[in-house]
Amino acid sequence: MDEQTRLMHSHSGVGMAGHPGLPQHMQEGTGGSDGDGRKQDIGDILQQIMTITDQSLDEAQARKHALNCHRMKPALFNVLCEIKEKTVLSIRGAQEEEPPDPQLMRLDNMLLAEGVAGPEKGGGSAAAAAAAAASGGGSGPENSTEHSDYRTKLTQIRQIYHTELEKYEQACNEFTTHVMNLLREQSRTRPISPKEIERMVNIIHRKFSSIQMQLKQSTCEAVMILRSRFLDARRKRRNFNKQATEILNEYFYSHLSNPYPSEEAKEELGKKCAITVAQVSNWFGNKRIRYKKNIGKFQEEANMYAARTAVNATNASSHGSQANSPSTPNSAGGYPSPCYQSDRRIQ
């Protein structure tokens, strides 16, 4: 009850509490028709309204009671009802049914998909599964710690999100009941239709849901940052093992005149190196551009691989079948540089 009264006071005093001297100014400003008793009355009333916030609650309570018991009160109420009936039509037109906000739906869907908005435990495992799926299928075993890390962070976000959401929900309900009580209280002194209360509640809910949307927005952002932090492949790059690099380099330098492996060749290389075709493509893309950019730097490497393939070829042809023995790092000495053939070279 106390809080209701306080709300009421702040309501009536809103925007005016800072101008306690206003009535006097108005009196002076209107040209000072001294003998006019009505003006004097209005000034008094205003003065009372202005100072109402300064009064103690008991005093205010007493005044309210006095107002309610005033002999003119029923008449005044009727007048207000009449005025209301005339103006209520214009209010009625102002209500519109709001369609579900597409952006809010988008955020909700995303939070659901990330397992933030869903049920507690199930949501977590679903999110982990999604993360596992998103991290790129093939390579497996050593990222379990990363995933648990990711999961704990996601759980933290979810907890914060839920507590905040609950807080907002609670605040919204509290505020709504406050306002409804206040309106009910006020309906004793002025006419308030249930529709108006409903409208007010709707307005409050809209405000709070817009706040919730901000929460959802920032939660989504946090999840996106977390995602990129943990699931961006660049952040957990691992160099290929030596063997894979050897195989790739071997192919590259033995096809230096046209270092563009076909799809099948890429598949084969990927198989041999235990990497994906996309990774093979990446490797060749990087290798081509970097080789072209600085041929001199790669000269030694080129010589080495040329020598090795030459030795392998020699071995294969003369000694029959001693196919791949990559442990012959012949010195890069006396072999002719594997210059570009006149074939399709790197642009």
Partner DNA sequence: ATACATGATTGAAT
Partner DNA sequence: ATTCAATCATGTAT
Q: Give me the residues that bind DNA (CB under 7 A), please.
A: 232-240, 245, 260, 263, 275, 278-279, 281-283, 285-286, 288-290, 292, 297, 346-347
Q: Which is nearer to DNA, 161 or 298 (CB)?
A: 298
Residue 211 CB, nearest approach to DNA (Å)? 32
Residue/partner pairs of 107-111 with CB below 8 Å, 24 or more apart: 107/213, 107/216, 107/217, 107/220, 108/216, 110/220, 110/223, 111/161, 111/216, 111/219, 111/220, 111/223
Closest separation in Å from C-beta 241 to DNA? 9
CB of 136 to DNA, least distance (A): 7
Minimum Å gap between C-beta 139 and DNA is 8
* Cβ burial 309-325 (10 Å sphere, 16+ → b, else e): eeebeebeeeeeeeeee
Q: Which is nearer to DNA, 98 or 142 (CB)?
A: 142
Of the pair 161, 230, the CB lying nearest DNA is at: 230
φ, ψ for residue 325, nearest 5 deg: -130, 90
CB of 9 or CB of 266, closer to DNA: 266
Closest CA to 47 of 21, 15, 73: 21
150 vs 161 by CB, closer to DNA = 150
At residue 100, what are phi and psi to the nearest 5 degrees? Answer: -60, 130
Residue 140: CB minimum distance to DNA, A: 14
Task: Collapse the DSSP code of 155 into the 3-class scheme (helix H, G, I; strand E, B; otherwise coil) and give the result.
Answer: helix
Q: Which one, 177 or 258, has the nearer CB to DNA?
A: 258
Contact yes or no for 86/43 (Cβ under 8 A): no
Q: Which residues contact 43 (CB under 8 A, 6 or more apart)?
A: 23, 24, 26, 27
Within 10 angstroms of residue 263's Cβ, the number of other Cβ atoms is 10
Please state the closest distance from residue 181 (CB atom) to DNA, in A: 53
- For DNA, give the closer residue by CB, 195 or 297: 297
Smallest distance from DNA to CB 222, Å = 17
156, 164, 212, 249 from 216: Cα distances, Å: 15, 10, 6, 49
